[in-house]
């Protein structure tokens, strides 16, 4: 199984990927994981880091397709590794995958232009670059207001040279969430399951509670 964790910045994708990896190992599964972008591991990953620092200019000045090619190139460079891990393991967990590129760059477009962009990018990554499609995408849904608060705290703790232009704009974050909802509704490129990161009062659920629900969903797909 190839399981991708998706969601807006601050949703806890890395935490959930790590918790699920531990749970899967306890169940005797052979597990591996990858996080995208692979900042220090690929040429394109280093370009992505520069883009997110703002080295290529403000977010609004970098064309969405240009930015998308950096993230897609990082996965293309990682394709041999991705295939090898998938062949060796029962479960390959991905912290961000193609849907992150679709959401973050598609968020900068609207209407027919966005739809055309999403088709172009999915075709590029899955057909031209021949990336494997996820067996399951787990979408960690987090309200934008909650995410913005968490990201503000993270920014205060971060080194001054570790900028991320995707995280600095709450309006952009809201548009990313909009695209994620669109992708989840369409079951884009394979099955999606939504896991809420908050309860009915919009209070953050514990990581362990979220992990339990995620594991339950994964188990369901393992039996199909």
Q: What length does the chain have? A: 224
- What pLDDT does residue 170 have? 80
The whole-angstrom separation of Cα 146 and Cα 186 is 25
The percent helix, strand, coil of the chain (3-state, each to 5) is 55, 10, 30
Residue closest to 101 by CA, chosen among 83, 124, 82, 81: 124
Is the pLDDT score of 152 beyond 90? no
In the chain, the number of structural domains is: 1
| Counts for the chain of helices (H) and strands (E), in that order | 9, 5
- What pLDDT does residue 150 have? 85
Instruction: Please return the burial class of 218, using the count of CB atoms within 10 Å of its CB with bins 0-12, 13-18 and 19+.
Output: buried
Whole-model pTM over 0.95: no
> Range of 86's domain?
2-222
6: β partners? 139
Q: Could you tell me the pLDDT band of residue 127, with boundaries at 50, 70 and 90?
A: very high
Q: What is the CATH number of the domain that holds 12?
A: 3.40.50.300
- What pLDDT does residue 158 have? 61
Compute the average pLDDT of residues 122-135: 98
Listed range (2-6, 153-157, 160-164) with the worst mean pLDDT: 160-164
Is the pLDDT score of 78 beyond 60? yes
Residue closest to 48 by CA, chosen among 166, 129, 133: 166
């Amino acid at each position: 199984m190839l399981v991708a964790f998706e969601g807006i910045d601050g949703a806890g994708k890395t935490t959930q990927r790590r918790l699920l990896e531990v749970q899967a190992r306890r169940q005797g599964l052979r597990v591996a994981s990858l996080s995208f972008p692979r900042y220090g591991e690929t040429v394109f990953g280093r370009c992505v880091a520069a883009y997110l620092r703002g080295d290529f200019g403000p977010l609004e000045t970098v064309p969405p397709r240009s930015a998308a090619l950096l993230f897609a190139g990082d996965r293309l460079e990682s394709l041999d590794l991705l295939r090898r891990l998938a062949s060796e393991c029962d479960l390959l967990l991905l912290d961000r995958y193609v849907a992150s590129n679709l959401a973050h760059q598609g968020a900068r477009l609207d209407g027919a232009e966005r739809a055309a962009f999403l088709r172009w990018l999915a075709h590029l990554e899955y057909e031209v670059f021949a990336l494997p499609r996820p067996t399951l995408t787990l979408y960690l849904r987090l309200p934008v207001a909650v995410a913005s608060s968490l990201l503000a705290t993270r920014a205060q703790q971060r080194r001054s040279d570790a900028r991320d232009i995707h995280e600095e704009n709450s309006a952009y974050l809201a548009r990313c969430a909009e695209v994620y909802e669109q992708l989840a509704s369409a079951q884009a490129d394979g099955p999606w399951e939504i896991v809420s990161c908050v309860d009915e009062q919009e209070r953050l659920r514990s990581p362990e509670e979220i992990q339990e629900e995620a594991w339950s969903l994964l188990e369901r797909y393992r039996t199909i």
